[in-house]
Amino acid sequence: MYAVITGASKGIGKAVAERLAAEGFDIAICARHAGTLKAAEADVMAKRAGVRVLAEVTDMSVKEAVLAFGRKVLDTFGEPPAILVNNAGIFTPGKVHEEEEGHLEKMMAVNLYSAYHLTRLLLPDMKRAKQGHIFNLCSTASHKAYPNGGSYSITKFALLGFSKNLREEMKPFNIKVTSVSPGPTWTASWEGFDGPPDRLMEPEDVASMIWAAYQLSKQAVVEDIQMRPILGDIG
């Protein structure tokens, strides 16, 4: 039994990988930077004796790299994943009418297409097994437009749409689909934030919610999760 988590070298992805490793899963993770990925691999392995970890350097903006990662996962573990967490994403604030040419395409490649391509590659085996749980890391920006959201917000709205469509399509195959939409969380996206530390959520909070949703009975699924700091959004 194993889980796949993309963009897992830090932040929410790393917290999810560590939590699932501690709960008994073997783990497949990927990220762009070899150094931070290697450190994350060591941290995940420290969570449980004997945990098996596949860590692959992968540029999730490149379709061929995404597919290569997916094939490596299936070849390594020999069965479909019990959990897929599509977490890879980049955050760049901006305004639609001021962004540089090509910005939307770059954001879509990482924030939407990576999840689309990896999910499609893994789904045939998951469908044959008639089991599995797919979590798509959306955002509160998937639900409500806000100033300076720009292309980031557009991609997160699209990822939520992908999740909702996939949820309907996977019902006959007993595969669960959950969109997870965190608000402000202590990740690289919030580096430089000078407010009080307890103003933002912790990545482990998101990991705990994913684990809670996964633990439901086989006939139950949480379709959408929205999380915010207790004082609400910032700005």
pLDDT digits (tens, 9 = 90+) for 2-58: 999 999 999 999 999 999 999 999 999 999 999 999 999 999 999 999 999 999 999
Q: Domain holding 87: CATH number?
A: 3.40.50.720
CA distances from 167 to 151, 152, 175, 221 (A): 24, 23, 8, 10
> For residues 74 and 128, is the Cβ–Cβ distance under 8 A?
no
Number of helical (H) and strand (E) elements in the chain, helices listed first: 7, 7
The predicted model scores a pTM of: 0.94
Q: For the chain, give the mean pLDDT.
A: 93
User: Considering the domain boundaries, does residue 64 fall inside one?
Assistant: yes
User: Considering the domain boundaries, does residue 49 fall inside one?
Assistant: no
pLDDT-based confidence at residue 192 (cuts at 50, 70, 90): low
User: Considering the domain boundaries, does residue 20 fall inside one?
Assistant: no
pLDDT value of residue 150: 82
Average pLDDT of the segment spanning 146-166: 92
For residue 88, the enclosing domain spans: 2-7+60-227
Tracing tokens 């597919």 back to the chain, one arrives at: 67
- Annotated active-site positions, please? 152
Task: Examine the pLDDT at 189 and tell me if it is beyond 70.
Answer: no
User: Considering the domain boundaries, does residue 122 fall inside one?
Assistant: yes
Mind listing the pLDDT tens digit for each residue in 57-95? Answer: 999 999 999 999 999 999 999 999 999 999 999 988 788
HSE-CB of 221 using CA atoms within 13 angstroms: 20
User: Considering the domain boundaries, does residue 27 fall inside one?
Assistant: no
pLDDT value of residue 40: 97
User: Considering the domain boundaries, does residue 129 fall inside one?
Assistant: yes
> Looking at the 3D structure of the chain, how many domains does it have?
1
- Phi and psi, residue 128, nearest 5°: -65, -35
pLDDT value of residue 235: 65
Measuring CA to CA, which residue among 38, 99, 90, 92 is closest to residue 61?
Answer: 90
Task: Examine the pLDDT at 148 and tell me if it is beyond 80.
Answer: no
User: Considering the domain boundaries, does residue 28 fall inside one?
Assistant: no
> For residues 6 and 85, is the Cβ–Cβ distance under 8 A?
yes
User: Considering the domain boundaries, does residue 67 fall inside one?
Assistant: yes
pLDDT-based confidence at residue 157 (cuts at 50, 70, 90): very high
Q: How far apart are alpha carbons 42 and 111 in whole angstroms?
A: 26
